[in-house]
Structure 1
Amino acid sequence: MAAAGGGLGALGASEAVAAAQALSLPAEAYGNDKLSSANAKPNIEMIWAMKAYQHAEVYFNLISSVDPKFLKLTKVDDQIYAEFRKSFGDLKIDVLDPEELKSEPAKAKWRPFCMQFDGVVEDFNYGTLLRLDCSKDYTEENTIFVTRIQFFAIETARNREGYNNAVYSRAMDTQSAAAETGGSA
């Protein structure tokens, strides 16, 4: 995954500080940010998207380089996993159906699950990118925007239940093949 068109790196020091301060607030603090002139400050939605993209990039690199079954995403992974499987025991997590996350009935079921982590998981309600098919990389077609606690719940389950092993195995195979040919992965 490569950085998109300048992104946060294109910001000056004062703009980067303003962006960092803006990102310290929860998503509910913002409506749609409309740019009012050509000289307007960077769009808050763009900054949120860049932060979500960077989180996704770091996470994908992590599951590509460390066996996912050993990953601990939060201090309360055991609690998140137990509550997730209690509430969503039959949810298919290898390839997610967006309706299971975004439909009105799904939102009604997810809301109480998410809210129990308010004050337990930092930034539990921040927006994060999640892969729909866990065997694939983050692409426009394979990505959905969810809350951070939904990400932690699903990815912790994917790691513990072995679904993210395909990403790790593919990365290790690529490294082995590169080592055998004297190249780099």
Structure 2
Amino acid sequence: MASDEVLASLGVGGASAVAHALSLPAEAYGNDPQLEAMWAMKAYNHAEIYFNLISSVDPKFLKLTKLDDEIYSDFRGTFKDLDVKRLTTEDLKSEGAKEVWRPFCNRFEGLVEDFNYGTLLRLDAERDYSEENSIFATRVQFFAVEVARNREGSNDTVFLSQKSKS
């Protein structure tokens, strides 16, 4: 069942309850499998919407946040040589990477809403979201990488491939 069908099946009251549950801080919950499934669905929906956006609008014209310029400048100052076109798990999850990412992300606490919220990020910018091409990242990591991809032309392949199909 598609995620929009699942949400529709909940009705207004159920959807409101889900929205309320997802707005509570993580500390309010243990490892509730049902809640984890809701978070995963929310992350998947975000990924689907974003991919549709870069497929239909020239990415160089996209503004993802009001802080895109600051995020990009800080990102490229911190990660000068990071290849955003093709990321690896180690670029985000190795101990060395975490030591650099953590302070970078924390600089945006209070500036970017839900800065550490879990989001899906594509490893290869030229491919769609899939199990092998997606990694769980924080929202600030997603914004940093995707703003860089949009500005540096890494998402152009997605846009141009969809444009040529129409």
TM category (shorter chain) comes to over 0.9
1:106 matched residue in structure 2: 97
Provide TM-score, normalisation by structure 2: 0.93
Identify unmatched segments of 5+ residues in structure 2: none
Structure 1 segment 150-165 matched on structure 2, within 5 A: 150-165=141-156
Question: Is this contact kept in 2: 1:65–1:171, CA < 8 A?
Answer: yes
Conserved? CA contact 1:67–1:168, under 8 Å: yes
Distance of 2:98 and 2:27 partners within structure 1:
16
**Cα distance, 1:9 vs. partner?**
3.0
Is the 1:7–1:50 Cα contact (8 Å) retained in structure 2? no
Verify the 8 A CA contact 1:158 1:164 in the aligned structure 2. yes
Distance 1:98 1:138 in 2: 15
> How many residues get paired?
166
Q: Residue 168 of structure 1: which of 153, 159, 164 is its match?
A: 159
Structure-2 separation of matches of 1:165 and 1:26:
36
* CA positional deviation for 1:128: 0.6
Distance (whole Å) between structure 1 residues aligned to residue 89 and residue 116 of structure 2: 18
Write the distance in 2 (CA, Å) between the matches of 1:130 and 1:18. 27
Task: Specify every segment of 5 or more residues in structure 1 that has no aligned partner in the other structure, as ranges.
Answer: 35-42, 176-185
Comparing both structures, which one devotes a greater share of its residues to helix?
A: 2
TM-score (normalised: structure 1):
0.84
**Alignment equivalent of 1:121, drawn from 112, 115, 119:** 112
Q: Which structure has the larger Rg over C-alpha atoms?
A: 1
Q: Trace 1:173-184 onto structure 2 (pairs within 5 A).
A: 173-175=164-166
- 1:72-106 deviations in Å (ceiling 9; x for gaps): 00000000000000111111111101111011221
27 and 95 in structure 1: CA distance in 2 versus 1, 3 angstrom threshold: farther
User: The residue matched to 1:15 in structure 2 has which SS?
Assistant: helix
Q: Deviations over 1:28-48 (max 9, x none)?
A: 5443114xxxxxxxx111110
CA RMSD of aligned residues (A): 1.7
Which structure's relative contact order is higher, taking Cα pairs within 8 Å and 6+ residues apart?
2
Which segments of structure 1 move beyond 6 Å, counting only runs of 4 or more?
A: none
Paired with 1:26 and 1:85, the residues of 2 have a C-alpha distance of: 31
DSSP-derived class of the 1:19 partner: helix
